């Protein structure tokens, strides 16, 4: 047996075993393979490079409804937000909007409006892309519902609504001319709520308004409680109009979900504030409409600024209207109450109550944002109050936030409204469902096929043939009695002119009385006057201001109006059709000449009415 | 004193020698683990097979297929951590393998580090299988960031369970280790919602899950894909970090014995 | 007397207990550069405890342990030593070649693979996994691994346990070569033959104490001429009760007695058993010296 020595040359290999090299390769290889695989694994179908078209807002500061991204990219495809990230890798064919120096906000939500006429388009021009209506006619709700569900390209805000409100016969809410199904007692509650649900109401609004300055009939507590309970049973929110702290506390105890105004009589004490907080109730203060009762100047000033060019004539008229003297509010009480609620953590929602006097749809929400900051909300909290908070509280899906999958309702403003709320006025671009909204008012709407052609003749009426018109259906008296008012009017032919005499009486929210002429063969049937430029007539009157109103367009809503003040002697008045903001001469349905506020007797004579 | 030889001790190390030594340790730790089939096969196959059965055959295209990618991923990496360390260390300790290595200049940290890399390697294999099966057969789709996040969270999840395994492995015998490790592993996996969604368990068991380490890793992973139970992520990270620290301290005491 | 610079490792007044079991009770011990030292003692004498202390695997309860003048747990010490442990394991799934490669990676100046394979005669086993090796093959692998770092000081704790005679002798040859190349070797064994064959110096320990120390020749001289063999009816217990008797053993019909003062013992035996016959009195080899010194009837210490 030979024993090898340490120095003996060896046949054994001295290079490392093969297994070590294999382990090194496989060891690193698996981590590499995992990395590669993860980079190649399939992502959801809404993957960015798979989308046909879209655009991205790149490099803007983004307030997503809850928090602020100092810089982010937001990708929109069709009507939805596809993605938001600090930085997105975008396919080259995607159109980009440079957001540098700008702030992107979710489309704003106005949590308290009343929707008439062109309200939805008016709101959208101001970046308010969702309206939470607290009382309108059910037909308006049904028409808007189809639009909001389709989510198509539109210049109009989406509408969610309470529909008809819960009140008593003769109570607040019955004065506006919309037929209201009133309640007599608690036993009506279940059927009443079911009827609203069937009409398409998204929630239930209840009025508790014993009157402000004068007595008004209102629902008794048992009925209010029954309606709240019925709403909850039928899985609807119940929000309440109150104007007194004691009523607010009472409905909180009954389980109401929200208040659509802050009260205006007293500042609550700490225990009462705690009650609101603990109940989880939300409050839509509607500071702007209350400010209008004491000092409309700030809203007027806002209209004089850069936002003004977005106002239609009708909106300007609304802004110029004033509440009656009887409408009073203790501004300090209102602001202090909101400050205490906000500080306690009660959810505050921005709402304007437009189109009440001294307000304008859309514009007034920007004033409301500023007022909320004076009541102690940070600019960012005020923005949340007009975006994510109402979306959450009213359970409105896909609105009020910039997140993947949400509706592409977006507002791009210059500057930084998260630190300076007035930057919300500096609207750069507005998208509704991914569609760029036109900022100019009075955009004409497409023609109906059944619009009658305009007659050759330009003279509509000269009263040389009595009260008849030269074409169309002719003249009728029109008053606010149609809307529950008490104004009166009488039309007579006097010396070849139309003599309009009557009295404006309080009772309607927007009182009026006058004469209306229908140029079509039937009342309100549309006639295409798009080739005509102006409305001219001769007039004389008692010195008060009158309104010429044009009813036009697809929907039968609030007319576009222009004011005129004739003297005792005859004069010719020429009003360009263009000056009737929001009116559509291509679908002209009626023209009215009427007296409006203030109350009192009046007379007006008109003659030689031409559409030229 | 033998001062004469101290100069010889002055490190003749090439700068890379320690790295090369660690690479060698890792390579052989991997080779030894692959050849340990009663460890390697269940570790690599069970999560994928379970997922095929519950996620693909029962839950294809549904939320279940999506949910179970995260939870079987957690199940897999917890297995590599707990079993690789718990059983591996206990056996190596009992056989005297660790004793022999303690006489060599190899630092204990390198030995534990090599085992950790090995556990991570097995975790990577488990995730690779799961992800490919989920995408190809279960129609699961995530955003790129979610795939990356899931891989990252789960790979990192190997660490606390490796530490937990180490704590067990340094205190129990090689024979007792498999039983004890599995007694920790399997029931806590079930109670943490790793096999079936936690919401399908009775309420009292759902509450119990908060005390299960795997629950916290699973919730972090589910958080990446937006399917978590809604606890703050800081809670889960805190619990897992706490487990890592405490288990490491217990393990250090065990190693010194 | 040796100068301190000759000392490569030492224990000074070391006590060590495992719980209530005392393993070492005041051991002073010195290992000198270049020598092969055998720690000789029966099982449980404390040999492995001493090695464990020198390897830094244990800390002494009291007393000092130094290797190369340092704490044995220091990395610098571990780079210069190698050890073959009595209680040790190895990754069962790695091949011999892989184990060698792995252990070589731990040291800054490792022995070549060729040297290690040759030293432990592993050329034919390179691709075999550790779990497929026989006990003897595994011992050889451990021997190779103990040399992986090209150590100055080598600890061999029962290195030949489980080896056949041929392998044992081959390992002895390797140890001699290592010694010739200037390395210091500490060997523990309970094979007297092994200590006799390899050691420059033998330290005998028993029950946690050093009971003798010297070259094999010195130890043999210390205990020579003290064996009595006879046929007697006296019971071993009775004989053990006599003064200076260390060991009594029945071998077939005869009884072997090891004693320090043979004359007194003979006097007693003859008085108490008049029929005593077949009397032989003789000297003992190192084997007997060891048994005498440790006072044990340790069969494993008896060469076959």
**pLDDT, tens digit (0-9, with 9 covering 90-100), for B237-256:** 999 999 999 999 998 887 76
pLDDT exceeding 70 applies to what percent of chain A?
A: 92
Chains A & B: contacts with CB separation below 8 Å: 59
Enumerate the domain spans of chain B.
Answer: 16-256
**pLDDT at position A13, please?**
47
pTM of the model: 0.52
DSSP 8-state symbol, B54: I
The per-residue pLDDT for A5 is 43
pLDDT recorded at residue C304? 31
Q: Does B61 touch chain A (CB under 8 A)?
A: no
Average per-residue pLDDT for chain C: 85
Set of chain A residues whose Cβ sits within 8 Å of the Cβ of B27: 19-20, 23-24, 27
Q: Provide the shortest C-alpha distance from residue C142 to chain B (in Å).
A: 9
Q: Which residues of B touch A19 (CB under 8 A)?
A: 27-28, 31
Chain length of chain B: 257
Q: Is A38 on the interface with B (CB under 8 A)?
A: yes
* Chain B residue with Cα closest to A21: B27
* End-to-end Cα spacing for chain A: 131
Give the per-residue pLDDT at C286. Answer: 61
A10 touches C at CB < 8 Å: yes
pLDDT interval class at B30 (50, 70, 90): very high
Is residue A406 within 8 A of residue A80, CB to CB? The reply is yes
Out of 3.20.20.140, 3.40.50.1100, 3.20.20.100, 2.40.160.10, select the CATH number for domain A107-397. Answer: 3.20.20.140
Backbone angles phi, psi at A44, to 5 degrees: -55, 160
Partners of residue C83 in chain B, C-beta under 8 Å: 100, 103
Is residue A258 within 8 Å of A282, Cβ to Cβ?
yes
* A319-371: pLDDT as tens digits: 888 887 777 788 999 999 999 999 999 999 999 999 988 899 999 999 999 99
- Per-residue confidence (pLDDT) for residue A6, from 0 to 100: 42
For position C244, what pLDDT does the model report? 74
Contacts of A20 in chain C (CB under 8 A): 98, 101
Least confident stretch, A280-284, A412-416, A566-570: A566-570
* B174/C contact by beta carbon, under 8 A: no
A48, HSE (Cβ side, Cα atoms, 13 Å): 22
Per-residue model confidence as pLDDT tens digits over B80-93: 999 888 888 888 88
- Which residues have a Cβ under 8 Å from the Cβ of C8 and sit 6 or more positions away? B2, C31, C32, C33, C67, C68, C152, C153, C184
Paired with A563 in beta bridges are A547
Residues of B in contact with A45 (CB under 8 A): 141
- Per the CB < 8 Å rule, is A33 touching B151? no
pLDDT class of A484 with cuts at 50, 70, 90: low
**Closest to A283 in 3D by CA, of A349, A357, A370:** A349
Residue B59 has pLDDT above 50, yes or no: yes
Q: ipTM, 2 decimals?
A: 0.88
Q: Which helix (H) or strand (E) holds A343?
A: helix A331-344
Lowest mean pLDDT among A43-47, A103-107, A255-259, A592-596: A43-47
Residue A342 φ/ψ, nearest 5 degrees: -65, -45
Average model confidence (pLDDT) across chain B: 87
User: Is B12 a residue whose pLDDT tops 50?
Assistant: no
Determine the 3-state secondary structure of C33 from DSSP.
coil
Q: Using CA atoms, how far apart are residues A499 and A511, in angstroms rounded to an integer?
A: 20
* Chain B residues inside the 8 Å CB shell of C56: 102-103
Q: How many angstroms separate the CA of residue C113 from the nearest CA in chain A?
A: 6
Contact with chain A for residue B30, Cβ under 8 A: yes
The separation between CA C14 and the C-alpha centre of its own chain, rounded to angstroms, equals 19
Domain ranges of chain A: 107-397, 452-611
Q: Per DSSP, what are the bridge partners of residue A610?
A: A459, A536
Distances (CA, A) of C184 to A33, A178, C199: 51, 112, 11
pLDDT-derived band at A432, boundaries 50, 70, 90: very high
pLDDT at A98 (0 to 100): 92
Say yes or no for a CB contact (<8 Å) between C123 and A5: no
pLDDT at residue number A526:
82
A31 touches chain B (CB under 8 A): yes
- Token output for A470: 């030269």
What does the radius of gyration of chain B's CA atoms come to, in whole angstroms? Answer: 20
Q: Give the pLDDT band (50/70/90) at residue A125.
A: very high
pLDDT of A81 reads 92
Average pLDDT over residues A209-227: 86
pLDDT digits (tens, 9 = 90+) for C161-175: 878 888 888 889 999
A12·C123 Cβ contact <8 A = yes
What is the distance in angstroms between the Cα of B211 and the nearest Cα belonging to chain A?
A: 31
Any idea which of A454-463, B7-16, C112-121, C125-134 has the lowest mean pLDDT? Answer: B7-16
The SS3 of residue B145 is helix
Distance from CA of A16 to the nearest CA of C (A): 7
Residue C99: closest C-alpha in chain A: A17
Q: Which of A326-330, B218-222, C290-294 has the lowest mean pLDDT?
A: C290-294
Whether chain A has a CB inside 8 Å of the CB on C101: the answer is yes
pLDDT of residue C291: 63
C226 vs B: CB within 8 A: no
Q: How far apart are CA A351 and CA A283, in angstroms?
A: 10
Cα separation, B101 vs A230, in Å, equals: 78
Question: Which residues of A are less than 8 Å from B23 in CB distance?
Answer: 24
C-alpha angle A537/A538/A540, rounded to 5°? Answer: 135
Confidence class of residue B115 from pLDDT cuts 50, 70 and 90? very high
Mean pLDDT is lowest, of A450-459, B71-80, C33-42, for A450-459
- Choose the closest CB to B105 out of C78, C88, C101: C78
Q: Is 2.60.120.430 the CATH number for A452-611?
A: yes
| Top-ranked range on mean pLDDT: pick from A383-387, A449-453, A596-600, C271-275 | A383-387
In whole numbers, what is the pLDDT of chain A averaged over residues?
86
The more confident residue out of B199 and A230 is A230
B216-254 burial string, b = 16+ CB within 10 Å, else e?
bbbbbbbbbbebbbeeeeeebeebbeebbeebbebbeeb
Q: What integer is the mean pLDDT of B100-113?
A: 89
C102, C139, C161, best to mutate vs chain B, most B CBs in 10 Å: C102
Give the contacts of A97 (CB within 8 A, at least 6 positions apart): A55, A56, A57, A58, A412, A429
Q: Which residue of chain B is at minimal alpha-carbon distance from A46?
A: B143
User: What does the buried/exposed string (b/e) look like for C240-273 if buried means 16 or more CB atoms within 10 Å of the residue's CB?
Assistant: eebeebbbbeeeeebbbbbbeebeebbebbeeeb
In sequence order, the β-bridge partners of residue C186 are: C37, C155
Tens of pLDDT, residue by residue over A108-122, are 999 999 988 788 999
Q: What is the pLDDT of residue A337?
A: 95
State the nearest Cα–Cα gap between C229 and chain B, in angstroms: 45
**Interface check B28 vs A, CB under 8 A:** yes
* Cα–Cα distance measured from residue B131 to residue A234, given in angstroms and rounded to the nearest whole number: 45
CB contact under 8 A, A5 and C112: no
> Which chains does A contact via 3+ CB–CB distances below 8 A?
B, C
Cα-Cα-Cα-Cα dihedral sign, residues A86, A92, A96, A101: positive
Interface membership of B20 toward C (CB under 8 Å)? yes
Does A9 lie at the interface with C, CB-CB under 8 angstroms?
Answer: yes
Contact: C114, A14; criterion CB under 8 Å: yes
Query: DSSP string spanning A344-370?
Result: HT--B-----BTSTT--TTHHHHHHHH
Out of A4, A12, A19, the one facing C98 most closely (by C-beta) is: A19
Using pLDDT thresholds of 50, 70 and 90, give the confidence band for residue A142: confident
Residue C62: pLDDT over 90: yes
Q: Pick the residue from chain A with its C-alpha nearest to B148.
A: A38
Taking the C-alpha atoms of residue A268 and residue A270, their distance in angstroms, rounded to an integer, is 7
Q: Which chain C positions have a beta carbon within 8 Å of A4's beta carbon?
A: 118, 121
Task: Determine the pLDDT at residue C290.
Answer: 65
Residue A22 near residue A65, CB atoms below 8 Å: no
Selecting from C101, C114, C115 the residue whose C-beta is nearest the C-beta of A16 gives C101
pLDDT tens for each residue of C184-199? 999 998 877 788 889 9
Chain segment C246-275, per-residue pLDDT in tens: 778 787 888 888 777 778 888 888 888 888
pLDDT at residue number C298: 43
- Does residue C75 belong to the interface with chain B, where contact is any CB pair within 8 Å? yes
Q: Does B26 reach chain A within 8 Å, measured CB to CB?
A: yes
Can you list the alpha helix ranges (DSSP code H) found in chain B? 6-9, 17-35, 37-50, 63-95, 97-103, 108-136, 144-169, 177-191, 203-208, 213-224, 233-256
CB within 8 Å of C91: residues ≥ 6 apart:
B28, B32, B92, B97, C99, C130
A141-145, A247-251, A395-399 — which is least confidently predicted?
A: A141-145
| Residue that is written with structure tokens 């039309």 in the block | A491
Distance CA A233, CA A227 (A): 10
Position C303 pLDDT exceeds 50: no
SS3 A494: strand
CB contacts of C142 in chain B (<8 Å) are: 100
Which single residue is written with the structure tokens 């606010």? Answer: A480
Cβ(A607)–Cβ(A574) below 8 Å: no
Confidence class for position A557, pLDDT limits 50, 70, 90: low
* H-helix segments, B51-105: 63-95, 97-103
Give residue A584's pLDDT. Answer: 79
Q: Pick from A310, A247, A253, A250: which is nearest to A279 by CA?
A: A253
Closest of A458, A413, A410, A455 to residue A437, by C-alpha: A410
- A8: confidence class by pLDDT, cuts 50, 70, 90: very low
* B104 close contact with C: CB closer than 8 A: yes
- Structural contact between residues A155 and A443, judged by C-beta atoms closer than 8 angstroms: yes
Distance from CA of A13 to the nearest CA of C (A): 8
Which residue is listed with tokens 């490569």?
C8
Q: Which chain A residues contact residue B26 at CB under 8 A?
A: 23, 27
Is B95 within 8 Å of C107 when comparing Cβ atoms? Answer: no
The whole-number average pLDDT for the span C228-244 is 84
Two structure tokens written together for B85: 């360390």
pLDDT at C13: 92
At A367, list the tokens: 């004033």
**Residue A1 has what pLDDT?**
33
Distance between alpha carbon A129 and the CA centroid of its chain, in Å? 7
Which of these ranges, A371-375, A440-444, B215-219, C209-213, has the smallest mean pLDDT? A440-444
Nearest to B103 among C8, C55, C90 (CB): C55
Which of C98, C108, C129 comes nearest B28 by C-beta?
A: C98
pLDDT mean over C130-154:
92
**Residue C205: what pLDDT?**
87
pLDDT at C297: 45
Residue C12's beta-bridge partner residues? C64
Contacts of C101 in chain B (CB under 8 A): 24, 28
- Sequence-ordered list of residues with C-beta below 8 angstroms from that of A98, at least 6 positions apart, any chain: A58, A59
Q: What is the pLDDT of residues A513-536, one digit of tens each?
A: 898 888 887 777 788 888 888 889
| Nearest-CB residue to A17 (from C95, C112, C173) | C95
Q: Which of C148, C129, C147 is nearest to C90 (CA)?
A: C129
Which backbone phi and psi does A589 adopt, to 5 degrees? -110, -30
Angstrom distance (rounded) from CA C13 to CA A39: 66
Chains adjacent to C (≥3 CB pairs closer than 8 angstroms):
A, B
Residue bearing tokens 């008849």: A468
Q: Tokens for B7?
A: 């100069």
Could you give the CA distance from residue C234 to residue C241 in angstroms, rounded to a whole number? 11
User: Which of A559, A606, A596 lies closest to A580, judged by CA?
Assistant: A559
Whether pLDDT at C299 is above 50? no
Residue A359 has what pLDDT? 93
Tell me: cis bond preceding A382? Omega within 30 of 0 counts.
Answer: no
Residues from chain B contacting residue A24 (CB–CB below 8 Å) = 23, 27
Instruction: Give yes or no for residue B49 having a pLDDT over 90.
Output: yes
For residues C89-110, average pLDDT: 93
Q: What number is the average pLDDT over the span C67-86?
A: 92
In whole angstroms, give the CA distance from residue A387 to residue A405.
Answer: 16
Q: What is the 3-state secondary structure (H, E, C) of B101-138?
A: HHHCCCCHHHHHHHHHHHHHHHHHHHHHHHHHHHHHCC
């Amino acid at each position: 047996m030979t024993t090898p020595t340490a120095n003996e040359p060896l046949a054994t290999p001295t290079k490392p075993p093969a297994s070590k090299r294999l382990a090194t390769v496989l060891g690193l290889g698996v981590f590499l393979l995992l990395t590669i695989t993860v980079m190649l694994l399939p992502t959801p179908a809404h993957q960015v490079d798979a989308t046909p078209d879209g655009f991205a807002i790149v490099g803007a500061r983004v307030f997503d409804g809850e928090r602020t991204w100092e810089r982010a990219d937001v990708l929109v495809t069709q009507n939805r937000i596809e993605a938001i990230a600090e930085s997105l890798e975008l396919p080259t064919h995607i159109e980009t909007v440079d957001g540098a120096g700008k702030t992107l906000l979710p489309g704003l939500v106005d949590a308290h409006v009343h929707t008439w006429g062109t309200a939805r388009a008016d709101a959208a021009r101001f970046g308010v892309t969702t309206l939470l209506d607290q009382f309108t006619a059910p037909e308006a709700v049904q028409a808007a519902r189809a639009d909001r569900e389709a989510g198509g390209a539109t210049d109009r805000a989406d509408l969610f609504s309470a529909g008809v409100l819960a009140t008593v016969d003769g109570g607040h809410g019955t004065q506006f001319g919309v037929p209201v199904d009133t309640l007599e007692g608690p036993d009506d509650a279940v059927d009443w709520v079911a009827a609203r649900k069937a009409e398409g109401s998204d929630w239930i609004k209840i009025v508790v308004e014993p009157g402000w300055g004068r007595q008004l009939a209102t629902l008794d507590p048992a009925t209010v409680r029954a309606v709240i309970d019925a709403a909850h049973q039928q899985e609807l929110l119940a929000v309440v109009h109150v104007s007194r702290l004691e009523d607010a506390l009472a409905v909180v105890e009954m389980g109401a979900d929200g208040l659509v105004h802050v009260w205006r009589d007293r500042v609550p004490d700490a225990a009462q504030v705690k009650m609101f907080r603990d109940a989880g109730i939300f409050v839509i203060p509607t500071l702007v409409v209350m400010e209008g009762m004491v000092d409309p100047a700030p809203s007027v000033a806002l209209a004089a600024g850069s936002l003004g060019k977005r106002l239609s004539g009708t909106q300007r008229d609304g802004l110029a209207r004033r509440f009656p003297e009887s409408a009073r509010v203790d501004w300090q009480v209102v602001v202090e109450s909101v400050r205490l609620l906000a500080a306690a953590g009660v959810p505050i929602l921005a709402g304007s109550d437009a189109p009440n006097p001294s307000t304008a749809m859309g514009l007034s929400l920007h004033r409301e944002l500023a007022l909320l900051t004076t009541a102690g909300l940070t600019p960012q909290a005020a923005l949340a109050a007009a975006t994510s908070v109402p979306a959450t509280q009213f359970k409105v899906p896909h609105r009020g936030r910039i997140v993947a999958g949400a509706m592409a309702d977006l507002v791009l403003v210059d500057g930084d409204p998260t630190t300076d709320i007035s930057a919300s006025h500096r609207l750069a671009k507005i998208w509704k469902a991914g569609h760029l909204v036109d900022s100019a008012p009075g955009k004409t709407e497409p023609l109906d096929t059944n619009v009658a052609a305009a007659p050759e003749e330009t003279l509509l009426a000269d009263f040389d043939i009595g009260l008849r018109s030269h074409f169309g259906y002719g003249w009728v008296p029109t008053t606010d009695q149609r809307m529950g008012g008490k104004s009166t009017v009488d039309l007579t032919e006097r010396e070849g002119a139309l003599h309009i005499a009557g009295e404006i009486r309080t009772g309607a929210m927007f009182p009026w009385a006058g004469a209306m002429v229908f140029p079509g063969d039937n009342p309100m049937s549309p006639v295409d006057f798009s080739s005509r430029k102006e409305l001219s007539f001769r007039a004389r009157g008692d010195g008060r201001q009158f309104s010429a109103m044009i009813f036009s367009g697809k929907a039968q809503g609030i007319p576009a109006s222009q004011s005129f003040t004739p003297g005792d002697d005859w004069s010719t008045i020429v009003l360009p059709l263009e000056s009737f903001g929001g009116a559509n001469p291509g679908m002209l349905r009626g023209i009215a000449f009427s007296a409006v506020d203030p109350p009192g007797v009046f007379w007006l004579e008109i003659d030689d009415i031409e559409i030229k | 004193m033998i001062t004469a030889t101290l100069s010889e001790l002055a490190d003749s190390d090439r700068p890379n020698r320690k790295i090369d030594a660690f690479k060698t340790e890792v390579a052989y730790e991997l080779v030894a683990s692959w050849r340990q089939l009663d460890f390697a096969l269940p570790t690599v196959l069970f999560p994928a097979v379970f997922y095929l059965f519950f996620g693909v055959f029962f839950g294809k295209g549904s939320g279940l297929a999506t949910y179970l990618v995260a939870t079987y991923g957690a199940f897999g990496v917890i297995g590599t951590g707990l079993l690789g360390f718990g059983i591996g260390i206990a056996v190596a300790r009992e056989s005297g393998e660790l004793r022999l290595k303690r006489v060599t200049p190899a630092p204990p940290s390198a030995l534990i580090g090599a085992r950790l890399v090995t556990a991570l390697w097995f975790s990577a294999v488990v995730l690779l299988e799961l992800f490919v099966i989920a995408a190809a057969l279960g129609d699961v789709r995530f955003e790129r960031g979610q795939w990356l996040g899931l891989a990252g969270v789960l790979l990192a999840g190997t660490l606390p369970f490796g530490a937990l395994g180490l704590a067990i492995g340094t205190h129990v015998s090689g024979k007792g280790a498999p039983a004890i490790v599995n007694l920790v592993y399997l029931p806590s996996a079930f109670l943490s919602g790793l096999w079936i969604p936690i919401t399908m368990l009775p309420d009292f068991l759902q509450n119990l899950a908060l005390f299960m380490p795997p629950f916290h890793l699973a919730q972090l992973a589910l958080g990446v894909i937006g399917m978590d139970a809604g606890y703050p992520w800081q809670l889960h990270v805190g619990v897992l970090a706490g487990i890592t620290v405490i288990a490491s301290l217990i393990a250090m005491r065990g190693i010194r014995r | 007397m040796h100068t301190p610079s000759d000392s490569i490792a030492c224990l000074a007044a070391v006590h060590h207990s495992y719980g209530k079991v005392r393993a070492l009770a005041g051991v002073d011990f010195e290992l000198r550069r270049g020598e092969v030292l055998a720690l000789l003692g029966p099982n449980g004498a404390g040999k492995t405890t001493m090695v464990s202390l020198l390897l830094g695997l244990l800390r002494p309860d009291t007393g000092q342990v130094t290797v190369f003048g340092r704490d044995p747990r220091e990395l610098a010490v571990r780079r210069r030593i190698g050890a073959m442990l009595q209680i040790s394991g190895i990754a069962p799934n790695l091949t011999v070649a892989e184990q060698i490669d792995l252990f070589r990676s731990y040291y800054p100046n490792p022995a070549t693979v060729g040297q290690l394979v040759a030293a432990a005669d592993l050329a034919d086993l390179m691709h075999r996994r550790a779990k497929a090796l026989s006990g003897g093959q595994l011992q050889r692998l451990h021997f190779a691994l103990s040399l992986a770092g090209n150590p100055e000081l080598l600890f061999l704790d029962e290195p030949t346990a489980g080896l056949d005679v041929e392998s044992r002798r081959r390992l002895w040859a390797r140890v001699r070569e290592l010694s010739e190349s200037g390395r210091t070797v500490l060997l523990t064994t309970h094979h007297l033959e092994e200590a006799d064959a390899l050691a420059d110096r033998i330290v005998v320990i028993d029950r946690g104490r050093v009971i003798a120390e010297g070259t094999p020749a010195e130890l043999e001289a210390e205990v020579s001429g003290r064996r009595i063999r006879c046929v007697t009816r006296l019971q071993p217990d009775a004989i053990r009760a006599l003064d200076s008797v260390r060991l009594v053993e029945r071998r077939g019909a005869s009884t072997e007695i090891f004693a320090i003062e043979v004359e007194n013992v003979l006097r007693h035996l003859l008085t108490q058993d008049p029929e005593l016959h077949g009397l032989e009195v003789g000297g003992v080899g190192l084997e007997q010296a060891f048994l005498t010194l440790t006072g044990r009837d340790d069969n494993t210490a008896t060469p076959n």
